[in-house]
Amino acid sequence: MNKSVLAGFAVGTLVSALAVFAFQPGGSFETSAHAADSDTYKQLNLFGDVFERVRADYVEPTDDSKLVENAINGMLTSLDPHSSYMNPKNFRDMQVQTRGEFGGLGIEVTMENGVVKVVTPIDDTPASRAGLRPSDYITHIDAKPILGLTLSDAVDQMRGPVNTSVTLTVVRKGVDEPFDVKLTRDIITIKSVKYHREGDIGYIRITSFNEQTGQLLDEAIHALQKQVGATRLKGYILDLRNNPGGLLDQAIAVSGDFIDEGEIVSTRGRHPEDTQRYNARGGDITDGKPVIVMVNGGSASASEIVAGALQDHRRATVLGTRSFGKGSVQTIIPLGSDGALRLTTARYYTPSGHSIQAKGIEPDIQVEQAPDPKTKKRLLITGEAELPGHLAAEEGAKEVAGSDSFVPADKKDDKQLLYAIDLLNGVRKDAAFKSASATSAN
């Protein structure tokens, strides 16, 4: 017990001392500043006291590192849904995922009301082949309840050696009873850009923004120009539906492939000097051909940067339903051997100066899908504005809930895609469509 008391004193005193020097560079401070921060130091001492009491008196032995990690996570998750602490393992996993290859089921998830919620399954992965959908809830993993687990713990349980199986219990809106889905784990190689020709139209789907996306898009555009013929090609459909986002620099690279010059996005943090602006550099490699960008309620973050940039430059027509509304920037701050901090540090703004935080990108042409033929209901996804603890929209801005995110598997049932194809082929007319002549004049 004496050792515990000494440890408690040391922890509380050390945390308080570090806080003093963090607030007062060089070890000097003004009396008024010291008085103003005294309550903060008391709270830090309180943390040390509680930490030591838990270590000494909890009914079972505790893991000190877990206690500290959970305390840090509690602090960060109280800020907004996108700030978090990554322990060394999770940090390594994140680095692998952004490189475009990792092991698992191929599913983007978040935590909502104590259970795992599917943001979107990744194309051509065990999750997509098993039929998992955006807004599905996963309540059990191998018959063990998720309730009480952190998102990180739940993801760890879903991962495992390649060719091993895992059973997920799924709750789906419109389906009366939970049902089990058995998946076989696989190496998930995310080829984030896929493309094919639709007659004389180039169709490009971007599923996420990882380190390979910009280069893969360049290759897709040049391949389509060669397949169709640069003069015959009528335009491009850029499909960002159910794309959850990713790396900011890749969103900038993708936007830059369609814009000759000008601002793509700006980020504004807590202080005026934190403002950064990112501009197009490489030039439009599509020769000014018409572009239709498709978005829906599952299009978030980097997807919204691209859609907002092309919309504001009048370089593309945005078609579909309103996007997710995640207009915040997370900075990954490595903490040496102790993992990393994912911290929301800024809002991002479209070239016209609009923040989409908790609002989303409103399409130029609103096209809703028909209800899911199996459930006869629309698949509405929870938007940023509905996430508990979300970063508020700018003062005076109206927050808007999520929108439809259903994309039919069969092309003939995909009203948004068919509408875009008809516009580019000239079969359908719409005053909001930016034709070749309209884009070349801007």
Active-site residues, by number, are 301, 312, 326
Q: What is the DSSP letter of 339?
A: -
Instruction: Give residue 403's region: left, alpha or beta (phi > 0; psi -120 to 50).
Output: beta
- The span from the CA of 130 to the CA of 136, in Å, is 12
Q: Give the position of tokens 């990554």.
A: 86
For strands 365-366 and 317-320, give the pairing.
parallel
Residue 47 vs residues 37, 76, 79, 265, 417: alpha-carbon distances, Å: 16, 15, 18, 40, 55
Residues 333 and 279: beta-carbon distance below 8 Å: no
- The partner residues of 115 in beta bridges, in order of sequence, read 112
CA gap 109, 303 in Å, rounded: 17
CB 239 within 8 A of CB 294: yes
- The residues near 239 (Cβ < 8 Å, ≥ 6 apart) are 203, 204, 205, 206, 294, 417
- What whole-number distance in Å separates Cα of residue 294 and Cα of residue 303? 10
Centre a 10 Å sphere on the Cβ of residue 227 and count the other Cβ atoms it contains: 13
Other CB atoms within 10 Å distance of the CB of residue 162: 11
CB 170 within 8 A of CB 157: no
> What tokens were used for 262?
């000008």
Alpha-helical segments (H) within 101-247: 126-129, 151-158, 213-228
Contact 8, 51 (CB under 8 A): yes
Task: Give the tokens for residue 144.
Answer: 């063990």
Give SS3 for 340. Answer: strand
